[in-house]
């Protein structure tokens, strides 16, 4: 994509959805970190179902530690990899209490110190809560970046680096949300719904599905 095409790409996304937000449900920054950590290899819908009752009881790291490992597992056992995720959340909560005054830090270096928090999770927290211009590359963004020609790369890190260079203002703050939502609902993995995509003319994907499949 050219610079002009990239600008138009995001302009259309912004026009369609001016204030995109994560679909994860949370009430404060600590709950956001927990929700994003739990969402690895799981759907936002599944995480939300598990965390509604959890977050009604737990708003702080101290309350999570009071709930304990077994209590946390009871709440999140419908989520994939719940045992290891529960251990990470308890360890994360302990570290926040011990070293950060129970406050979630606002730098990537500090965030990735937390158990269960990798670069992608840190980027989501920095973007959603601290309003920093970060690009949290998940499977949707990896696919959309490569398929459209916006940001090609074999790894999330490569795609993130391309997005850092190519996404212009005033679209940088919301770019990763637009791309996630586009990948989740339009530019789907198995059958991209190009026939209803408002970006198809800008996209470099050669196998566009421009006819509505039968039964749709």
Is 0.85 topped by the overall pTM?
yes
**Sign of the CA dihedral with 6 first, then 128, 35, and 37 last:** positive
Q: Closest Cα to residue 1, out of 183, 203, 180, 170?
A: 203
Domain termination site, one of 112, 129, 146: 129
Please check whether residue 131 is in contact with residue 173, taking contact to mean a CB–CB distance below 8 angstroms.
yes
Q: Are residues 63 and 120 in the same domain?
A: yes
Active-site positions? 120, 138
Check the annotation: does 128 bind a ligand.
Answer: no
Alpha helix stretches (DSSP H) within 77-197: 82-99, 108-111, 119-128, 139-148, 156-166, 175-185
Q: Are residues 104 and 125 in the same domain?
A: yes
The two counts, helices (H) then strands (E), for the chain are 10, 0
Domain termination site, one of 66, 95, 129: 129
The pLDDT of residue 114: 97
Q: What is the CATH number of the domain that holds 193?
A: 1.10.1670.10
Residue 56 CA to its chain's centroid (Å): 22
Burial class (CB in 10 A: 0-12, 13-18, 19+), 130: middle
- Total domain count for the chain? 2
Between CA 177 and CA 167, with CA 124 as vertex, the angle to 5 degrees is 50
Q: What is the CATH number of the domain that holds 89?
A: 1.10.340.30
Residues of the chain with pLDDT under 50: none
The pLDDT of residue 23: 95
Q: Are residues 45 and 112 in the same domain?
A: yes
Q: Are residues 143 and 166 in the same domain?
A: yes
Q: Are residues 38 and 69 in the same domain?
A: yes
Q: Are residues 77 and 36 in the same domain?
A: yes
The pLDDT of residue 215: 66
Check the annotation: does 29 bind a ligand.
Answer: no
The pLDDT of residue 125: 97
Alpha carbon distance 182, 198 (integer Å): 10
Q: Are residues 49 and 65 in the same domain?
A: yes
Domain termination site, one of 99, 129, 159: 129
Q: Are residues 38 and 97 in the same domain?
A: yes
Q: Are residues 13 and 36 in the same domain?
A: no
The pLDDT of residue 99: 97
The residue segments making up the domain with residue 142 are 3-19+135-202
């Amino acid at each position: 994509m050219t610079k002009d095409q990239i600008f138009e790409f995001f302009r259309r996304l912004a026009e369609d959805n001016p204030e995109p937000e994560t679909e994860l449900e949370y009430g404060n920054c600590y709950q956001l970190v927990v929700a994003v950590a739990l969402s690895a290899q799981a759907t936002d819908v599944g995480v939300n179902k598990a965390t509604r009752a959890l977050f009604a009881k737990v708003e702080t790291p101290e309350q999570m530690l009071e709930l304990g490992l077994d209590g946390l597992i009871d709440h999140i056992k419908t989520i994939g990899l719940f045992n290891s995720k529960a251990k990470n959340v308890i360890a994360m909560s302990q570290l926040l209490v011990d070293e950060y005054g129970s406050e979630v830090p606002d730098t990537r270096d500090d965030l990735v110190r937390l158990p269960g928090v990798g670069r992608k999770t840190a980027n989501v927290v920095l973007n959603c809560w601290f309003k920093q211009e970060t690009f949290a590359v998940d499977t949707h963004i990896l696919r959309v970046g490569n398929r459209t020609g916006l940001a090609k790369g074999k790894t999330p890190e490569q795609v993130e680096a391309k997005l850092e260079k190519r996404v212009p203002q005033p679209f940088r703050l919301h770019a990763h949300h637009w791309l996630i939502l586009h990948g989740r609902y339009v530019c789907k993995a198995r059958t991209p719904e190009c026939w209803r995509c408002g970006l198809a003319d800008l996209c470099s994907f050669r196998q566009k599905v421009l006819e509505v499949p039968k039964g749709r």
